[in-house]
Amino acid sequence: MLQKILIANRGEIAIRVMRTCRELGIATVAVYSDLDRDAAHVRFADEAYALGGQTAAESYLNTEAIVRAIETSGADGVHPGYGFFSENADFARAVAADGVTWIGPPPEAIEIMGDKISSRLAAARSNVESVPGTTTPITDPAEIVAFGEEHGFPVAIKAAYGGGGRGMKVVARAEDAESAFASAQREAQSYFGRSECYMERYLTRPRHVELQIFTDTQGHGVYLSDRDCSAQRRHQKLIEEAPAPALSPETRRAMGEAAVKVALGCGYVNAGTVEMLYQDGEFFFLEMNTRLQVEHCVTEEITGLDLVAEQIHVASGEPLSFTQESVERRGHSIECRINAEDPSRSFMPSPGTISRLRLPAGPGVRWDGGYHEGDAISQYYDNLVGKLIVWAPDRDRAIERMLRALDEFEIEGVRTTIPAHKVLLAHADFRAANHSTKWVEDEVGADAFTAPAATAATGTAPATAAEAEGGAPLVERTVPVEVDGRRFSVRVWLPEFPAVAAPAAPARSKPKRVATSSGSSGGEGTVSAPMQGTIVQVLVAVGAQVEAGQAILVLEAMKMENHIASERTGTVVEIRVTAGDSVGTGDVMAVIE
């Protein structure tokens, strides 16, 4: 049995792994970046070691620094969580080369499943059907036309070395094949460094159904449960549930058995997830994720198993604690990923300090979080605040329970996806399980998240500064009032810096704060930040003549560079930022006269 486990991750998943370690009497080691020196996962751990750096590349993806922490701490096991190094075969090998137990699958299995063509071939070797398609790189767009004529359009062009949906192109008609192929290759090259693409029949309204499997070093393989993760937006899952609704028992068993065959066929050991597309009663192998996934909790809730404990036992060479016959599935579980994003503004990231956090509780409610009140959510890492998970005896009651828990959830200082979850869970399509991977974007639509009903819901951060007629900035607050002895909760718009009453504006802990604006949207003479981000480059100097529409600065936000332009023609009289500065929404960056 392992004595001390280093968790090469941060946030909620690091804490999730440590919780099980603590129950098993295993010591925990955290690692952290400069920004995470006092993060929740660091405070939770028995010991913690600095990796240095701010970005993921400098810290949680720095093999040398992590290996040093393994050696210094004397950890005898490493859990990678999900993301970061979890599906990195070289890191797994570096850990093993250090004589330390890797709590994950063999590097060879990671490699087979990391490459989409080789994973399709592996599924085929195990007699499991993928979506009809090719297993050799496309060399000529004529192959796409021929494939479409044989199997029908649309045809999907996918990056062979890609994943996560990036770079997929859908060809609706033969005449689109050439340009779609060229653009798929270009995107594959820029995202994944390899341009090879292959093709598949494109399913127009599939559900994303995935299978949680577990295998051990003795060659046992078991499927624990299926999950439906169709409620997603731009390949970011929003809601997951287990079991997947509306599958026949025969389909469920067939999918589970297929998933186990794929896993055993590639020499897989430990927890894994086989993704399938399900449409019109048919299912097809899509890809395999060689890690513990974010949504593993819903499988834990219906099986009563601790998947992290099982991972640790399997990594130590012990056999699985269950068999296919002994695994029981009871009731229904739903998970909402609570992200610091603003659904009313296209799910724009909303990093910041959590100024207030009151969590739901009560029957059937579980919270796997990565932050506490007062903690800051950095723009450098993902936006997951935590996962709200419910269990109930059936799906309808699980939906009601989740809506109840979301109503109890109070969080301020950052915007969250909570209003969007409420809209989705209450939607007739979701209740009827009549949704697909295209549902949130194409059928629910962005308007559903900007309607007053969505944004006025409780659990949101105070609105961003509005402006009174006199020009004074206003901030939304909720205050209790009594009328004839009855208590009401009233939303009011108060001055941003009042003498009394409203709590102080949340403090931000950014490397350097620049002067804030009045909260106006920039307007004529000032150039202000339309969103929170980092200055990449200042394009003009004080004294320069600029024209309306001319780019003044480059602001990196949401992993994209945005050129911020002057709204008027004039002279640059002031530049308040330099490259590297962090700015918040509304901050004045330059003044033009």
Give the interface with ligand MV4 as residue ranges (CB under 6 A).
131, 156, 164-165, 168, 200-203, 206, 208, 232, 235, 277, 286-287, 437
Which tokens go with 360? 């739901």
Q: How distant, in Å, are the alpha carbons of 148, 231, 245, 282, 435 from that of 432?
A: 33, 13, 9, 19, 8
Q: How far is the CB of 222 from ligand MV4 (least distance, A)?
A: 24
CA separation for the pair 376, 283 (Å, rounded): 42
Nearer to ligand MV4, 232 or 460 (CB): 232
Q: How far is the CB of 116 from ligand MV4 (least distance, A)?
A: 9
CA separation for the pair 568, 550 (Å, rounded): 9
CA separation for the pair 103, 179 (Å, rounded): 44
Distance of CA 441 to the CA centre of its chain: 17
Q: How distant, in Å, are the alpha carbons of 35, 457, 459, 463, 493 from that of 478?
A: 31, 12, 11, 11, 9
Helices (H), 266-320: 296-303, 307-315
Q: How far is the CB of 264 from ligand MV4 (least distance, A)?
A: 22
Nearer to ligand MV4, 130 or 311 (CB): 130
Nearer to ligand MV4, 237 or 576 (CB): 237
CB contact at 8 A, 125 and 112: no
Residue type, 583: V
Q: How far is the CB of 299 from ligand MV4 (least distance, A)?
A: 17
Which tokens go with 468? 């009174």
List, in sequence order, every residue forming a beta bridge with 534; answer none if it has no partner.
Answer: 556, 582
CB contact at 8 A, 475 and 506: no
45, with CB counted inside 10 A (0-12, 13-18, 19+), is buried
Nearer to ligand MV4, 123 or 538 (CB): 123
Residue type, 84: F
Nearer to ligand MV4, 287 or 335 (CB): 287
Task: Report strand pairing: 384-392 vs 526-528.
Answer: unpaired
Nearer to ligand MV4, 103 or 277 (CB): 277
Q: How far is the CB of 156 from ligand MV4 (least distance, A)?
A: 4
DSSP 133: B
Which residue carries 């309204």 as its tokens?
205
Q: How far is the CB of 153 from ligand MV4 (least distance, A)?
A: 12
Nearer to ligand MV4, 131 or 454 (CB): 131
| 403 phi and psi angles, rounded to 5 deg | -60, -40
Nearer to ligand MV4, 190 or 578 (CB): 190
Q: How far is the CB of 545 from ligand MV4 (least distance, A)?
A: 47
Q: How distant, in Å, are the alpha carbons of 66, 145, 218, 237, 377 from that of 45?
A: 16, 56, 32, 28, 19
Nearer to ligand MV4, 228 or 310 (CB): 228
CA separation for the pair 213, 262 (Å, rounded): 10
List, in sequence order, every residue forming a beta bridge with 466; answer none if it has no partner.
Answer: 474
Q: How far is the CB of 317 from ligand MV4 (least distance, A)?
A: 32
Question: Dihedral of CA 388/389/392/396: which sign?
Answer: positive
Nearer to ligand MV4, 66 or 171 (CB): 171
In the complex, residue closest to ligand MV4 by CB: 165
Residue 383, SS3?
coil
Q: How far is the CB of 53 from ligand MV4 (least distance, A)?
A: 30
Q: How far is the CB of 555 from ligand MV4 (least distance, A)?
A: 29
Nearer to ligand MV4, 52 or 164 (CB): 164
Nearer to ligand MV4, 70 or 199 (CB): 199
Q: How far is the CB of 204 from ligand MV4 (least distance, A)?
A: 7
Q: How far is the CB of 322 from ligand MV4 (least distance, A)?
A: 28
Which runs of E-coded beta strand occur in 407-550? Answer: 410-412, 466-467, 473-483, 486-495, 526-528, 533-538, 545-546
